[in-house]
Structure formats: structure tokens, C-alpha cells
Amino acid sequence: RTMFLIGLTGGIASGKSTVANILLSLGIDVIDADKIAREVVEPGKPAWVQIRREFGSEVLLGDGRLNRPALGRIVFGDHEKRRKLNRITHPEIHKEMAFQSLKLFLRGRQFVVVDVPLLYETKTMLRFVHKVIVVKCTPAQQVERLMSRNGFTEEEARKRIESQLPLEQKCGLADFIIDNTGDPDTVRAQVEDVVRQLRGSWAHWKVRGAVLVVVLGLLVGVIWLITRVTTVL
């Protein structure tokens, strides 16, 4: 397992962005899967081409950009269509996340947080994370935030929530839970406590030690090969 990656997840509109911003303010690198998801479907990119082929031009705006509300209405009421969309976008998202993680690892970061809304649903990134932080709030808060932030009707908001694993189930699987039902200061204090615990972890040294062993092994192999070739010549 890649032990320097920390997963950040929760229910839709539970406050992951709030927690991610607090982490950034504390000097922690956060890789945002939602941001990457928007980038991989920009016009002309492979995922965009596949989406246009699969769902038609009705999910595109006049300038070619993805019409997210239109696509959302199609997939969030249809499990099979949502699976098709995920099969198109998730591989591209995961490739970019892996690339960004590698860059930060090579810069010597102790740990990196990966903000993945569907961490437990897709399971792909779970094998790469050492610990998971889940952000929770009440279902009523989720509905209220989606209606206010996204302009959804109550029915649309509930459909979005129901398309994900229940939040209480995610909390049962988490290593750390951030309760986002209270005031901002309380939320920040919880995040700071988690960061203190993570900064005290020695997990990143295990990863670096394993990488060092592999690199040294390759170096020894190259030296042995050069010696053999020189001897033969």
C-alpha cells in the first residue's frame, strides 16, 4: 500500500471542500479529484470525445463544453448510464491523480491528501491510501446545501445523495471523522487534531525505505551488468 496518501471523502455537500481548504491553510497538499474531473472532460480530451459519442450533443453547450446539469439529469436517475459515465471518466481521473501524487512524493512530502468524493463507491483509490478522513453532516444539511448551492429541487438533491453510499456507512469505515454540523472553529480544531496525528506518523519513512531498496537494487544490477560487459570486452 502507498502509505503516504490520505483519503478525504464524505457525502455530497457534506463539507469536503471546507475541510480541504483548512488542510491547504495548514500547508498540506490536497489533490482535488473534482477539479481533475472537470479538467479531463475539457473539449477535445479523450473523455470528452467518449462522452459525446455515448450521450450525444445534447450534453454539450454551444461552445463545446460539457453541459453538466444536462448530463447530471441523464445519469443520476439511471444507474446504468451513471456507470457508463464513470467508466469513461474515472480512468482519466485516476491517471492524473497518480501523476500529481508522484510529483509531490518526489518533492519529499510526508503525506498528501487526495480528495475523492466517491472513494468508497469506486474503491479504485482505496488500495493506495493509508488512512481515510470522512466529513459528515446531517442529511437535512446536505439537502439544504444542494438546493442553495446548486439550485436543485429537493427531489434532485435527494437523488444525488441516494446515488452515493450512505454517509453513516462511510463513517463506519473511516479512520478519522470530521463532524461538520457545528461552527467553523470546531471544524478547524478537528482538522488540526487529525493533521497533528498524521504528522506524527512514520508511515512515509516506510515508503521511502522501500523505494530506496528498489533503487539500490537496480543500481547494483546496472553496475554488475556494466562490469560483466567490460570483462567480456
pLDDT tens digits, 69-110: 999 889 987 889 999 999 999 899 989 998 998 899 888 888
Question: What pLDDT sits at residue 114?
Answer: 96
Q: What is the pLDDT of residue 141?
A: 97
Name the 3-class secondary structure at 78.
coil
Asked if residues 33 and 90 have their Cβ atoms less than 8 Å apart, the reply is no
**Looking at this protein, which amino acid is placed at residue 38?**
R
User: In this structure, which amino acid lies at residue 59?
Assistant: V
E-strand ranges in 106-191 read 112-115, 131-136, 176-179
pLDDT of 209 over the 70 cut: no
| Amino acid 215: pLDDT | 52
Looking at residue 233, its pLDDT comes to: 53
Q: In angstroms, rounded to a whole number, what is the distance separating the alpha carbons of residues 225 and 174?
A: 47
User: What pLDDT does 218 receive?
Assistant: 66
Query: Region 4-33: what's the mean pLDDT?
Result: 96
| pLDDT tens digits, 149-189 | 999 999 999 989 998 999 999 999 999 999 999 999 999 99
Q: What is the CA radius of gyration of the chain?
A: 21
Provide the grid cell at 132: 481515510
Q: Contact, 165 vs 150, CB < 8 A?
A: no
Contact 129, 114 (CB under 8 A): yes
Strand partners, 136: 179
Q: How confident is the model at residue 3 (pLDDT cuts 50, 70, 90)?
A: very low
pLDDT greater than 90 at residue 220: no
Phi, psi of 115 (to 5 degrees): -85, 105
**How many angstroms separate the CA atoms of 69 and 76, rounded?**
10
Q: What is the mean pLDDT of the chain?
A: 88
Q: Give the pLDDT confidence score for residue 124 in this predicted structure.
A: 87
Mean pLDDT of 196-217: 63
Rounded CA-CA distance 89/42 in Å is 11
Contact assessment for residue 65 and residue 42, using Cβ atoms and an 8 Å cutoff: yes
At residue 171, the pLDDT reads 97
pLDDT at residue 212, rounded to an integer: 47
